[in-house]
């Protein structure tokens, strides 16, 4: 089915159309190119060598073409390397937004198979929390930060993405030095699409809206105040609840995903999770009945504290949406 681009219309002044989230979701998407996930030496008859490293390739690089032809899957790269016969392969890749070229010469391992000494992947997946959605259009935002490569920290470029249902089954409690995590598994139902992965969150459209959502007023960055608030999230029991917290150290100039500090004060949440854990990213932060932001990061040395993003930052970065 053909798709056309139309402007996304939600603004802070139209906040009455938005509903606060708090429910978990799964995201799977295909990358725009092939990501170098890691490097390793190839065991050859002459010892260990890493052709990819020798060619200047690093973990986190995004390979976009090989021998002048666009590549979109890991299988394409693997097949090209294994069938190269030891001949040089010209790779085009991006690093930090800059396009580069490498001349890669694979080597034969001890079994005679040609290898380059790099692991590649063409997809990414994760679990997060919906921050808000528009019940009229189905557009939503979640996570409050982008999905990044674990090695380079760079945003993973998106081609297509799908939202799936998620079932949470456990909690790995966070302690100082070790982040906790909500444990869950992806369901089989596709409940939406992802159209953007950015520093302020992931954005898309839900085909199945959460039940019981109510419109909520939005607070601008200038209206947020230091003091009591609540974090709305869903834990392993599947029950969405509000947990007490405190907002502090507000940076009103922030345009990224670290706009203020959020400290969990709710004894029940601290007992169960230790505070903020992975999977809670995107959990709405509500103050005086208004949506002010979302949880984005946990502080490694104190899991009761983390960062929040202004909800205004997320709304301002909503992309143009796809409409069938």
CA distance 232 to 323: 30
Q: Is residue 74 domain-shared with residue 175, that is, in the same domain?
A: no
What distance in Å separates the CA atoms of residue 130 and residue 260, rounded to the nearest whole number? 19
Residues acting as catalytic residues:
145, 266, 281
CATH number, domain with residue 226: 2.40.10.120
Report DSSP state, residue 318.
P
Two structure tokens written together for 219: 């607070």
Domain identity same for 294 and 148: yes
Would you tell me how many other CB atoms lie within 10 Å of the CB of residue 40? 14
**Domain, as residue range, for 140:** 4-31+123-323
Q: What is the pLDDT of residue 13?
A: 39
CATH number for the domain including 49?
Answer: 2.30.42.10
Query: Of 116, 142, 172, which closes a domain?
Result: 116
Residues contacting residue 7 through CB under 8 Å, at least 6 positions apart: 320
Q: Bridge partners of 31? A: 158
Q: Mark whether 26 and 76 lie in a shared domain.
A: no
Q: How far apart are CA 164 and CA 238, in angstroms?
A: 16
The reported pLDDT for the residue numbered 151 is: 63
End-to-end Cα distance, the chain: 7
Q: Is the pLDDT of residue 75 over 50?
A: yes
Q: What is the pLDDT of residue 74?
A: 87
Same domain? 13 vs 66: no
Residue 246 lies in a domain: yes
* Same domain? 182 vs 314: yes
Residues 157 and 285 in one domain: yes
pLDDT of residue 81: 94
Check pLDDT > 90 for residue 129: yes
**Which ranges of 32-174 does DSSP label H, i.e. alpha helix?**
51-54, 74-82
From 116, 133, 152, give the residue that closes a domain: 116
CA 218 to chain centre: 23
Strands 98-104 and 260-264: unpaired
Per-residue pLDDT tens over the stretch 189-203: 889 999 888 999 999
pLDDT digit string, tens, across residues 201-211: 999 999 988 87
In degrees, to the nearest 5, what angle opens at C-alpha 285 toward C-alphas 284 and 288? 130
278 shares a domain with 253:
yes
Could you tell me the pTM of the whole model?
A: 0.78
In a domain, 57, yes or no: yes
282: left (phi > 0), else alpha (psi -120 to 50), else beta?
left
Name residue, tokens 């692991």: 119
Cβ atoms of 4 and 323 within 8 Å: the answer is yes
Domain count, the chain: 2
CA angle 252, 258, 260 (to 5 degrees): 55
Q: What is the DSSP letter of 133?
A: E
Q: What is the pLDDT of residues 139-173, one digit of tens each?
A: 999 999 988 776 667 777 777 788 998 889 889 99
**Residue after which a domain boundary falls, among 60, 82, 116:** 116
Q: What is the 3-state secondary structure (H, E, C) of 20-40?
A: ECCCEEEEEEEEEEEEEEEEC
pLDDT digits (tens, 9 = 90+) for 5-45: 222 333 343 445 799 999 999 988 777 788 888 899 999 98
**Residue 257 has which token pair?**
């995903």
Enter the DSSP assignment of 120: E
Do residues 161 and 223 both lie within one domain? yes
Phi, psi of 291 (to 5 degrees): -80, 115
Place of tokens 């596709």: 190
**Which residue shows structure tokens 């380059």?**
116
Q: Assess if residue 36 is contained within a domain.
A: no
Rg (CA), the chain: 22
Return all residues near 292 (Cβ < 8 A) that are at least 6 apart. 219, 223, 224, 229, 247, 285, 286, 308, 310, 311
Q: Residue 27 domain-assigned?
A: yes
Same domain, 69 and 214: no
Q: How far apart are CA 102 and CA 88, in angstroms?
A: 10
């Amino acid at each position: 089915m053909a798709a056309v681009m139309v402007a996304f219309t939600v603004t802070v002044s139209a906040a009455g159309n938005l509903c606060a989230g708090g429910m978990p979701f799964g995201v799977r998407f295909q990358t725009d190119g092939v990501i170098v996930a890691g490097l390793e030496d190839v065991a050859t008859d002459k010892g260990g060598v890493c052709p990819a490293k020798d060619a200047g390739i690093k973990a986190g690089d995004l390979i976009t073409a090989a021998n002048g032809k666009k590549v979109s899957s890991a299988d394409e790269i693997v097949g090209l390397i294994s069938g190269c016969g030891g001949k040089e392969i010209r790779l085009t890749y991006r690093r930090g937004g800059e396009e580069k070229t490498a001349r890669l010469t694979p080597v034969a391992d001890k079994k005679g198979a040609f290898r380059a000494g790099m692991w590649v992947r063409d997809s990414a997946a994760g679990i997060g929390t919906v921050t808000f959605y528009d019940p009229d259009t189905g557009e939503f935002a979640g996570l409050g930060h982008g999905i990044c490569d674990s090695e380079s920290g760079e945003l993973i470029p998106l081609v297509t993405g799908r939202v799936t249902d998620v079932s949470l089954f456990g909690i790995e409690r966070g302690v100082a030095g070790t982040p906790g995590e909500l444990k869950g598994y992806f369901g089989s139902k596709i409940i939406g699409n992802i159209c953007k992965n950015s520093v302020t969150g992931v954005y898309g459209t839900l085909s199945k809206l959460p039940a019981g959502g109510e419109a909520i007023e939005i607070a601008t960055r200038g209206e947020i105040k230091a003091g009591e608030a609540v974090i709305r999230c869903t834990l392993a029991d599947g029950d969405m609840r509000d947990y007490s917290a405190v907002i502090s150290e507000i940076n009103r100039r922030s345009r990224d995903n670290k706009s203020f500090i959020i400290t969990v004060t709710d004894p029940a949440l601290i007992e169960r999770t230790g505070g903020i854990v992975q999977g809670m990213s995107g959990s709405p932060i509500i103050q005086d009945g208004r949506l002010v932001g979302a949880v984005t990061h946990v502080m490694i040395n104190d899991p009761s504290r983390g960062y929040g993003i202004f909800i205004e930052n997320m709304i301002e970065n909503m992309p143009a949406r796809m409409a069938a």
